[in-house]
Structure 1
Amino acid sequence: MRLSRATSAASIAAGTAVLALVASGCATDTATGPNEPGGNGKQIELTITTFGTFGYEALYEEYMDLNPNVRIVANNIDTGGNARTDVFTKLGAGSGLSDIVALEEGWLGSIMEVSDRFVDLREYGIEDRGSDWVDWKYQQATDPDGRVIGYGTDIGPEGICFNGPLFEEAGLPSDREGVAELLDGGWDRYFEVGADYLAETGRAWYDHSGFVWNAMVNQLDEGYYTSSGELNVEGNAELRARFDQLAEATLSGQSAAQSAWDWNGGQSFVDGTFATFICPGWMLGVLQGNTEAGGGSADTGWDFADVFPGGAANWGGAFLAIPETSNNKEEAAKLADWLTQPEQQIKQFEAAGTFPSTLEAQQELAANPIPNAFFNDAPVGEILAGRAEGVIAQFKGPDDSLIQENVFGPPLQALDRGEMTADEAWAEALQLLNELVD
């Protein structure tokens, strides 16, 4: 993901929350293989650090019930950006990393520059599972030397979340099928409907420019880097054209100028501040958590449409890696392998909306859609399975997330506030690029 995956405000406090999960019971170990639950009866403490909303809490408990000799100590960091800082700080210190560390897609490129600091999971049989994942997911975790450093967790196919009552008030279709038809087309169509909504209601169309920009960039064949790893911002006419398109809509009033990952404590999802929201699968949990934190519920009217401006796009995805500093590599591999099996990925999806990266789990969700009560009974699994078709992962360079957040973040926020023209905002982005990226 380019922007940091944020927490569900209802379930994860800001900063770092540590959850020590202690097993109970006295079941007998039964598994014998290196990637199966179980062990030799010796008491083992496994530490794991994730970020944002992973939906692992119940799975930790289940694993410990299956493995009474294992005690999981789980640490969750509020955003992917802060998790990146945590990982590289501890890599620099040479100690302090958990036995299992979640790595975010947006900064996987920088991790690949130090991939030898993580265990080659081929030593624990990950090659036997290579065909489990969508092919590009497995390749993302493979370094130039062929070492595989991460078990794939989720991916982030994108749809549009919309508030049905707000659409109805504006005289727009408010059912999922009607909204999908209404927004079918490119970004020009999305902003055209946004202009109509603004004119009719006087209210914003989307929460802030950063998330929309992230989606627009992700759809390009090459984003901030070329596929060969060269910076691809300055002189990139296609990138500039999309920036100008977004700037025009934002300066016209379509952005609600929200703070990323805040939304006024969730209140803005409840009070009609904006009508649409960029929704990769994992963001569904974020939207629900913030709506509930703001005093809303399923009755607030959020829904999920099977459409995305410009076609298929992916925002998101993480991996579970094992640092070389771990003293419990084999047991850590068992846990990471178990957490990323199709059965567990489905449970993770049900808990947090994180869409599986394993093909079997995707097929199960598509074949047996479960209505999501919060999103007006939308069959979100089935929708996301369709939205995942045609997604091709974009190459992420070493400073990809930094460019999104620290190079384009400030000028996009200035556009939201109406403080810069498009030309001024682009010039500031290029200045920040030269200052922050080698």
Structure 2
Amino acid sequence: MVLTAVAALAGGLLAGCAEDSDEPGGSSGGGGGGGKGKTTLTVGVFGAFGLQEAGLYKEYEKLNPDISIKQNSVQRNENYWPALLTHLSSGSGLSDIQAVEVGNIAELTGTHSGKLMDLGKTSGVDKNSYLGWKWQQGTTDDGKTIGLGTDIGPTGICYRKDLFKKAGLPTDREEVGKLWAGDWNKYLEAGKRYKEKAPKGTAFVDGAAGVMAAVHGSGKEKFYDADGELAYKDSAGVKEGWDLAAEFAEAGLTDKLQQFQPSWDQAFSNASFATVTCPPWMLGYIKDKAGDKGEDQWDVAAAPKPSNWGGSFLTVPEAGKNKEEAAKLVAWLTAPKQQAKLFDKRASFPSASAAYDLPEVKDAKNAYFGDAPVGQIFAKAAQGVPVQPIGPKDGIIQQYLADNGMLAVDQKGTSPDKAWDKAVKTIDNALDQ
């Protein structure tokens, strides 16, 4: 199952749905009359966002016969996002509702909040129903909530039980979680234990960059400080993630793979690595790539520390023709009940913590992963994710640290210091543009 977070984090290489376009407003632009007295609400998304696929639009239309919903999808977020900024600036060409990936939300709260509705004041929206850190991401410093969260990506550690057994490590998910509970360095030590008796041709983890991203997502501060200033060069959390990932590489614990590349996909099928940091949306990805022979060989345990990878928001532009109706639809789509349905149908984990006690989440198990109680595992992780400042260029910094930095350490044996200097230079050049 290929989902929203993959679209953003793997370069948006996903097929869209409904009408494909290079514009966030699609071919129809803003909403308008839908014929026969109906109001047509347009929803601009990127990738296979899941709302339409889960049947939520049809359900809303049935509940509101005077509303018709049309989705406009752009395949790639790197095409969707710049076009959305352009249309926000001009106040034209917008859908009534626009989706925004978590890596871009800070740019809206910081510089474009005046062009978006305050959804926190919409009838039926209860701030207390949502995770505090997710609500804060979509809220400006002066308290205006411009984006209501859809999904999130709380991470666990997916692991191969068969490879762990051969390496003399425990296979029960509770015992596996205890190996590294509370400390990413314990994850490194578990990797060293694995290497001592590792099945031939296997590594402990897929690649160093994945470890780095997970550590970065678990700290109180990452690329920006609490004042919104760029701070990645001096951030203790960034240094911790970089240093630990480099240790994984230099200790020979990685399969030297770059995520979302064909070689990474093939490695799932070949069972060439034993662990990978994984949010809920990745479970379907693993199932697809590992195939039938991986069923009940994979399981999922808690990560050393709660971290988040992915997630999106829905916003309503002030320039829209149907703002009030659009806000009502956003409130309904992001309500706990609908988020639970989206998780049940599409594995998009709810950002509304009130959904965690609903049966679709609380009782959720994944047969492919040994009937792992994924609803409970990921709900616990979600509630422990730190409130972390995010900045407008988080995505660029993360990408270059991984692809222009850590990948060289992992695949070419470049010294961590030299790779860091190269990554910083690349980031600084990109941010100066």
| TM-score bucket (shorter structure) | 0.7 to 0.9
Report the counterpart of residue 383 of structure 2 in structure 1: 389
Work out whether residues 150 and 339 of structure 2, in 8 Å CA contact, stay in contact via their aligned partners in 1.
yes
Paired residue type of 1:50:
V
| Same amino acid, percent of matched pairs | 38
Report the counterpart of residue 364 of structure 1 in structure 2: 358
Distance 2:232 2:120 in 1: 36
How much is the aligned-residue C-alpha RMSD, in angstroms? 3.0
Report the counterpart of residue 50 of structure 2 in structure 1: 55
Report the counterpart of residue 31 of structure 2 in structure 1: none
Report the counterpart of residue 37 of structure 2 in structure 1: 42
Report the counterpart of residue 29 of structure 1 in structure 2: none
Distance 1:265 1:296 in 2: 17
- 1:184: Cα distance to partner? 2.5
Pair 1:181-2:178 in alignment: yes
Q: How many residues align?
A: 408
- 1:342: Cα distance to partner? 1.1
Distance 1:65 1:366 in 2: 22
Report the counterpart of residue 217 of structure 2 in structure 1: 218
- 1:427: Cα distance to partner? 0.7
Paired residue type of 1:285:
G
Pair 1:334-2:328 in alignment: yes
- 1:245: Cα distance to partner? 2.1
Distance 1:176 1:314 in 2: 20
Work out whether residues 219 and 386 of structure 2, in 8 Å CA contact, stay in contact via their aligned partners in 1.
no
Q: 1:124 aligns with which of 101, 114, 122?
A: 122
Judged with a 3 Å threshold, the aligned counterparts in structure 2 of structure 1 residues 86 and 367 are, in CA distance, closer, same or farther, namely closer
Alignment of 1:151-166 (within 5 A): 151-166=148-163
Report the counterpart of residue 302 of structure 1 in structure 2: 298
- 1:377: Cα distance to partner? 0.7
Paired residue type of 2:278:
C
Pair 1:350-2:344 in alignment: yes
- 1:423: Cα distance to partner? 1.0
Once the two structures are superposed, residues 79-129 of structure 1 have per-residue CA deviations (whole angstroms, 9 ceiling, x without a partner) of: 655543443354456533322222122221112211112222256336x52
Distance 1:288 1:192 in 2: 27
- 1:428: Cα distance to partner? 0.9
- 1:241: Cα distance to partner? 4.1
Q: Please, which moves more after superposition, 280-289 or 150-159? A: 280-289
Report the counterpart of residue 208 of structure 2 in structure 1: 209
Report the counterpart of residue 395 of structure 2 in structure 1: 401
Judged with a 3 Å threshold, the aligned counterparts in structure 2 of structure 1 residues 422 and 356 are, in CA distance, closer, same or farther, namely same
Distance 2:36 2:328 in 1: 15
- 1:361: Cα distance to partner? 0.6
Ranges of 4+ aligned residues in structure 1 off by more than 6 Å:
none
- 1:434: Cα distance to partner? 2.0
- 1:380: Cα distance to partner? 0.5
Judged with a 3 Å threshold, the aligned counterparts in structure 2 of structure 1 residues 412 and 79 are, in CA distance, closer, same or farther, namely farther
Judged with a 3 Å threshold, the aligned counterparts in structure 2 of structure 1 residues 384 and 407 are, in CA distance, closer, same or farther, namely closer
Once the two structures are superposed, residues 241-279 of structure 1 have per-residue CA deviations (whole angstroms, 9 ceiling, x without a partner) of: 431221121133322233332344833222112221212
Distance 1:47 1:40 in 2: 14
Report the counterpart of residue 406 of structure 2 in structure 1: 412
SS at match of 1:282: helix
Report the counterpart of residue 253 of structure 2 in structure 1: 254
Work out whether residues 251 and 418 of structure 1, in 8 Å CA contact, stay in contact via their aligned partners in 2.
no
Paired residue type of 1:262:
Q
- 1:78: Cα distance to partner? 5.0
Pair 1:325-2:357 in alignment: no
Judged with a 3 Å threshold, the aligned counterparts in structure 2 of structure 1 residues 54 and 373 are, in CA distance, closer, same or farther, namely farther
Work out whether residues 6 and 53 of structure 1, in 8 Å CA contact, stay in contact via their aligned partners in 2.
no
Report the counterpart of residue 26 of structure 1 in structure 2: none
Judged with a 3 Å threshold, the aligned counterparts in structure 2 of structure 1 residues 46 and 154 are, in CA distance, closer, same or farther, namely same
In structure 1, list runs of 5 or more residues that go unmatched.
22-38
Q: 1:374 aligns with which of 368, 376, 379?
A: 368
Judged with a 3 Å threshold, the aligned counterparts in structure 2 of structure 1 residues 186 and 151 are, in CA distance, closer, same or farther, namely same
- 1:371: Cα distance to partner? 1.9
Report the counterpart of residue 27 of structure 1 in structure 2: none
Distance 2:306 2:428 in 1: 31
Paired residue type of 1:343:
K
Report the counterpart of residue 284 of structure 2 in structure 1: 285
Pair 1:242-2:238 in alignment: no
Report the counterpart of residue 133 of structure 2 in structure 1: 136
SS at match of 1:147: coil
Work out whether residues 209 and 255 of structure 1, in 8 Å CA contact, stay in contact via their aligned partners in 2.
yes
Work out whether residues 44 and 95 of structure 2, in 8 Å CA contact, stay in contact via their aligned partners in 1.
yes
Report the TM-score when normalising by structure 1: 0.83
Paired residue type of 1:405:
Q
Distance 1:351 1:263 in 2: 27
Work out whether residues 298 and 373 of structure 1, in 8 Å CA contact, stay in contact via their aligned partners in 2.
no
Once the two structures are superposed, residues 363-401 of structure 1 have per-residue CA deviations (whole angstroms, 9 ceiling, x without a partner) of: 225984222212211111111122223322200012111
SS at match of 1:270: helix
Work out whether residues 117 and 324 of structure 1, in 8 Å CA contact, stay in contact via their aligned partners in 2.
yes
Paired residue type of 1:43:
K
Q: 2:426 aligns with which of 417, 432, 435?
A: 432
Work out whether residues 215 and 240 of structure 2, in 8 Å CA contact, stay in contact via their aligned partners in 1.
no
Q: Please, which moves more after superposition, 365-374 or 241-250? A: 365-374
Distance 2:344 2:320 in 1: 30
Work out whether residues 15 and 77 of structure 1, in 8 Å CA contact, stay in contact via their aligned partners in 2.
no
- 1:157: Cα distance to partner? 2.2
Work out which structure has the larger RCO, using CA pairs closer than 8 Å and 6 or more positions apart in sequence: 1
Paired residue type of 1:415:
V
